[in-house]
Amino acid sequence: MLRMIVQLHPVVIMLAFVAVIVLLLAVRRRLARGGLAAVPPPAVQIGNGQTIGAREEQDDYFASAETPVGTIAVLADGISGLANGRTASTTAVSTFIRQYMNVNSEREIAAFMAQAARQANRDIINRLGGVSGGTTAVAAVVCGDSLYWGAVGDSVIFVYRKGDFIPVNRKHILATVLEERCISGEITAEQARDNPMRKRLVNYLGYESFESMDIGEEPFRLKPKDRVLLCSDGLYNGLTEIEMEEVLGKTIPPYEAAELLIEAIERKRLKNQDNATIVILEPAL
């Protein structure tokens, strides 16, 4: 009996070796066909870039997170004309990201936006303890082909689509109010255009009279190859749409596009360049 085992041992080894080779070939064929479950690509690719510009402090702040519900990005631009802009912007972004972790379904996103904005406003006021300060904020959540958004202040959300920049939110600045008054006939076009306070913020977080942030009533429907851009005013005031399109029109990943946009601003060396930040979301539709 022992002799039989010894004689069969090389055969067993050979059979095992052949079995391994067959298995490896099968795995290779299935990988080539995409038959094996590989690590899936992210539902949303994210890129971001930032420069301090000609300012002494960086008051812009941003963050992103992904949950089973969707991918969120938040950008806040602390008001440089007030003290503690950095504190206000970091507090706002942190509050939004923390609150988003409690969102359990797509149906809750609009309510989350409104609640997070109110909580961020309270958190900023409490942290500053009576010292003036404030920040703008834009938040975007991508769920499949749906873009949910909220905005307060003059930071903006664009959807870049085949060379076009589609504005998603409106700016909370005096110019917007003046334009509405002009349309209603209360003031002339010249009065609206020539007002020296046109760029003054009329709503922001950390403001005692803050009421609410603008929230999309319906999700914005995204199409394949759309890119969602969150920009502080230093970004969109520092580059023209033509200059931005030269970068965004390239077939490059979002992180590379964001870096190139910031490099384009820094090359200009503008004397009064504000802090500039951009976050790019590209869903895999």
The pair of three-digit structure tokens given for residue 41, joined into one six-digit string: 């690509």
Percent of the chain exceeding pLDDT 70 equals: 84
How much is the pLDDT for 33? 54
- Listed in sequence order, the residues at least 6 apart from 175 whose beta carbon sits closer than 8 Å to its beta carbon are 192, 195, 198, 199
Q: Which has more confidence, 279 or 208?
A: 279
The answer, yes or no, to whether residue 13 has pLDDT greater than 80, is no
The mean pLDDT of 191-208, rounded to a whole number, is 84
Structure confidence at residue 184 as a pLDDT band (50, 70, 90): confident
Which one-letter amino acid corresponds to residue 35? G
Return the structure tokens found at 37.
Answer: 């479950």
Q: Which residues does 38 contact at the CB level (< 8 Å), separation at least 6?
A: 31
Least confident of 49-53, 148-152, 204-208: 204-208
Q: How far is CA 222 from CA 47, 100, 152, 248, 278, in A?
A: 18, 21, 22, 16, 19
Q: What is the dihedral of CA 95, 98, 101, 105, to 10 degrees?
A: -10
Of the ranges 128-132, 140-144, 183-187, which one carries the lowest mean pLDDT score? Answer: 183-187
Mean pLDDT of 192-208: 85
Confidence of residue 88 (pLDDT cuts 50, 70, 90): very high
Strand, helix or coil for residue 115? helix
Summary mean pLDDT of the chain: 88
pLDDT at 40: 63
Q: Which whole number is the average pLDDT over 160-189?
A: 86
For 255-281, what is the mean pLDDT? 97
Mean pLDDT for 262-282 is 97
Q: How would residue 4 be classed by pLDDT, with cut points 50, 70 and 90?
A: very low
pLDDT of residue 225 exceeding 80? yes
Examine the pLDDT at 194 and tell me if it is beyond 60.
Answer: yes
Q: What is the mean pLDDT of residues 209-216?
A: 92
Which range, of 108-112, 143-147, 183-187, averages the lowest pLDDT?
A: 183-187
Asked if 199 and 121 touch (Cβ cutoff 8 Å), the reply is no
What's the average model confidence in pLDDT over 220-235? 98
pLDDT, position 9: 56
Burial 129-162, CB ≥16 within 10 A → b, else e: eeeebbbbbbbbbbbeebbbbbbbbbbbbbbbee
In sequence order, what are the residues at sequence separation of 6 or more whose Cβ sits closer than 8 angstroms to the Cβ of residue 185? none
Which percentage of the chain shows pLDDT scores above 90? 69
User: Does the structure show a pLDDT above 80 at 29?
Assistant: no
**6-15, 146-155, 259-268: segment of lowest average pLDDT:** 6-15
| Amino acid 15: pLDDT | 55
